[in-house]
Structure 1
């Protein structure tokens, strides 16, 4: 009797519709992508074919203001996916289906939150007695989302400009260091013989370039003095690193202030490059005057004879 009761309960539960038939199996959105790369978004799910059928698969992107836009739709009725144009998202249709969507030519503006939404429609058990007004179709919806950040890292070291062929004690050393266009912006740090230069001797500027990239320029102003030399030389280094701090750009083309939000990079993507400038010293102040006098005498004698 007890066994018969268990069997009865089992068949009753088996006949109850399972609202969780549709479920997500694999969902993947890369956390970071390099500018210009191709990325693959994955939305793997499972549908109970006995209870339901796949209805639609849709991909959305949220912009920085939180606005959600649909850029890809796969419909079971015709199985012909459609793409919808939105800024920064380029879908490769021949490499996309109900489980995978391929995006190409990623830009900084492609960054944002991506969401996959899967909808299934419950099958009608008794189509002979189905009345749309009395038995509307029941839908199950699952969704998942993740953030993707596109970056442009420096592939070359910064460039130091402004150096002369020789210096004398008391001369002003005026150098500027320029980073390559990057996102997030680059932080430039000056070192003289491995000693970090204080902020009072440095002036930085952040320039906005095309495709949301930034160029950092740092100016170094210092007087050449004997105490700066180590082992008879001065080595000036400009080190470029990707910053992880929010930065305000001075001015954008629309003449409005713009704030860059914090971007945390994984350790594997953090790069540091540098350029070294050796200060060529010709002599001190007295030697400078004597040298110039001797050169004048030599030129005069060559002219006379």
Structure 2
């Protein structure tokens, strides 16, 4: 019987303590969007003293019911609170920027006599989406060297940098001997572009696709049909590029050194 009352007493005591039920912070937001953070709590037998929000340990918002108005926002770089939409359980930020990324923490405190406090946190990353899909081009210098058609895929400016991948006839290319990685290209305002090369064996017609992904929010690809001409002594290739974000089709003639040499020899024989 004593054990039963001890457990019951413990359960009652825990039910009367302040606790965080849920803290909701979006994993990512696109630059320019609003961001909403939720902090759901139970006071138990206490009265609320304050709810405070921090970004990377720097306070930017507090709610204290004993003040009028109860809300107050602090100016920190990349964080601008919409007070008209914020209260003790919700904070809304105006249009976020890349500087808004960080670890957000909600801290709830009780009045005397308990002075209990509880906290929860979550990380948000702000991303910048490319304004165009990945671009497929031929690498003329590389195409003069070997029996491969060499393609480049370059993503549009974004943050973070896009993750690129190649597919040949619907199958993802995993052979590292066919892929060439390049350093990230840095642009102004912290934006980045990625580039990934692909060596396509000559001798048959195939469909290649380059796909760019930026977080889970954005994915876009460009497709190309690659085929060789009937000139046995040349390495002339036709590359048809179609971006999934564009209605037009771009035709590019990739001429290699051997083809130029063939033309040169034909001209010399006529003269």
Of the candidates 204, 210, 216, which is equivalent to residue 238 of structure 1? Answer: 210
Distance 1:174 1:117, change over 3 A: same
Please tell me whether the aligned partners of residues 108 and 211 of structure 1 are also in contact (alpha carbons under 8 angstroms).
no
Deviation at residue 107 of structure 1 after TM alignment: 3.1
TM-superposed deviation, 1:178: 0.9
Distance (Å, rounded) in 1 between the aligned partners of 2:52 and 2:226: 58
- Which of the residues 94, 118, 121 maps onto 1:145? 121
* 8 Å Cα contact 1:91/1:102 also seen in 2: yes
Aligned residues: 233
Q: 2:213 touches 2:219 (CA, 8 Å); kept in 1?
A: yes
- Give the 5 Å matches for 1:50-129: 52-62=46-56, 68-80=57-69, 81-122=71-112
2-side partners of 1:17 and 1:160: how far apart? 65
- Equivalent runs, 1:148-163 vs 2, <5 Å: 148-154=124-130, 156-162=132-138
Match of 1:275 among 223, 248, 257: 223
The aligned residue for residue 33 of structure 2 is: 37
Q: Distance in 2 between matches of 1:105 and 1:286?
A: 56
Deviations 1:128-180 (A, max 9, x none): xxxxxxxxx6522222222223334557431023478xx99x78845432102
Partner of 1:229: 203
Query: Larger radius of gyration, structure 1 or 2?
Result: 1
Distance 1:45 1:79, change over 3 A: farther
For residues 136-215 of structure 1, what are the structure 2 equivalents within 5 Å? 138-154=114-130, 156-162=132-138, 173=149, 175-191=151-167, 196=173, 199-200=176-177, 202-215=180-193
Q: TM-score, normalised by structure 2?
A: 0.65
Q: CA RMSD in A?
A: 4.2
Q: Separation in 2 of the partners of 1:85 and 1:238?
A: 42
Work out the CA distance in 1 between the residues paired with 2:130 and 2:166.
18
1:93–1:282 distance in 2 versus 1, CA, 3 Å: farther
Counterpart Cα distance in 1 of 2:78 and 2:110: 29
Q: Deviations over 1:21-43 (max 9, x none)?
A: 43334432223323322121112
Q: SS where residue 194 of structure 2 aligns?
A: strand
**Kindly tell me: are residues 139 and 291 of structure 1, through their superposed partners in 2, closer, same or farther at Cα, counting changes over 3 Å?**
closer
Query: Any stretches of 5+ residues in structure 2 without a counterpart?
Result: 236-258
